[in-house]
């Protein structure tokens, strides 16, 4: 009986200690820093970045469509070029972001028109802004934090509220691995607080130096049920890219 009582007391002490440790851990977690770390992990400030993204989109009642885009990024100048390589019909179309201006180039007309980073790529679930560097820390405030588990991973769940009205989504719920600052899931909400899109960052990564790039993403439309896009990343290059890629003349000659 004494032994049982001692064991019980020990169990309570251990439970309290673990709880206190968890609470202390939670209390000491710097979520701002975590958000910044997520941004850092996929931002290439000193180098340029290029990769090929294959986007397979599915819509109810339609055959899957494939879009291939090549991305060129120069993060320290906030420049991005998105060049559509497939389908053949759209080949050569592209987006060029210089500072706050986003231009869309159509090789058929040879004209540029103003666009935005909120545009979807060729009717897929992927938006231009999904290809730019992450700016969660700059654009969002953390309004709520939770702990959770997704698959085999212990996670932090951060609810983010937009600091400005220029980002695509007013609210984001970001599920991040606890062991490293890598997002596993991103739930995007409308201004009216309705789930609009969920991005699953499948846990396969391309490691480039100290950077970790999710190799596959699944974007699920939560409004138009059954619509989704799967993005597969390949041909990742991190290093110095020629200046020519970030000029209008590149898009004009790229077809």
Residues that bind other proteins (CB under 8 A): 60-61, 100-101, 114, 116, 118, 162, 165-170, 188, 190-192, 194, 196, 223-226
Distance of closest approach, residue 33 Cβ to other proteins, in angstroms = 26
How many Cβ atoms from other residues are within 10 Å of residue 89's Cβ?
Answer: 9
Of the pair 34, 126, the CB lying nearest other proteins is at 126
Of the pair 54, 222, the CB lying nearest other proteins is at 222
Of the pair 123, 203, the CB lying nearest other proteins is at 123
Of the pair 168, 175, the CB lying nearest other proteins is at 168
Residue 116, CA distances (Å) to 95, 136, 198, 222 in order: 9, 18, 21, 22
Residues 6+ apart with CB under 8 A from 99: 78
In this structure, what DSSP letter does residue 134 have? P
Distance of closest approach, residue 192 Cβ to other proteins, in angstroms = 6
Cis peptide before 112 (omega within 30 of 0): no
Distance of closest approach, residue 100 Cβ to other proteins, in angstroms = 5
Distance of closest approach, residue 128 Cβ to other proteins, in angstroms = 12
Coil, strand or helix at 151: coil
Q: Would you say 173 and 184 are in contact if contact means Cβ atoms under 8 Å apart? A: no
């Amino acid at each position: 009986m004494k032994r049982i009582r001692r064991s019980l007391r020990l169990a309570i002490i251990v439970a309290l200690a673990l709880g206190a440790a968890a609470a202390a851990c939670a209390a000491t977690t710097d979520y701002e820093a975590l958000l910044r770390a997520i941004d850092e992990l996929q931002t290439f400030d000193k180098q340029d970045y290029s990769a090929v993204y294959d986007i397979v989109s599915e819509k109810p009642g339609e055959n899957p469509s494939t879009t291939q885009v090549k991305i060129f990024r120069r993060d320290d100048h906030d420049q991005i070029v998105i060049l559509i390589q497939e389908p053949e019909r759209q080949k050569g179309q592209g987006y060029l972001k210089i500072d706050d201006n986003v231009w869309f180039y159509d090789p058929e007309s040879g004209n540029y028109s103003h666009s935005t980073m909120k545009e979807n790529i060729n009717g897929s679930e992927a938006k231009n802004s999904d290809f730019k560097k992450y700016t969660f820390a700059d654009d969002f405030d953390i309004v709520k934090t939770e702990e959770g588990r997704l698959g085999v991973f212990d996670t932090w769940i951060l609810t983010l509220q937009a600091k400005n009205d220029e980002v695509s989504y007013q609210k984001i719920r970001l599920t991040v691995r606890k062991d490293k600052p890598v997002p596993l899931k991103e739930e995007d909400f409308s201004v009216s607080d309705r789930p609009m899109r969920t991005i699953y960052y499948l846990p396969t990564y391309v490691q480039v130096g100290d950077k970790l790039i999710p190799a596959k993403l699944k974007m699920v439309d939560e409004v138009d049920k059954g619509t989704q896009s799967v993005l597969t990343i390949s041909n990742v290059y991190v290093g110095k890219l020629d200046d020519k890629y970030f000029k209008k003349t590149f898009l004009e000659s790229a077809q």
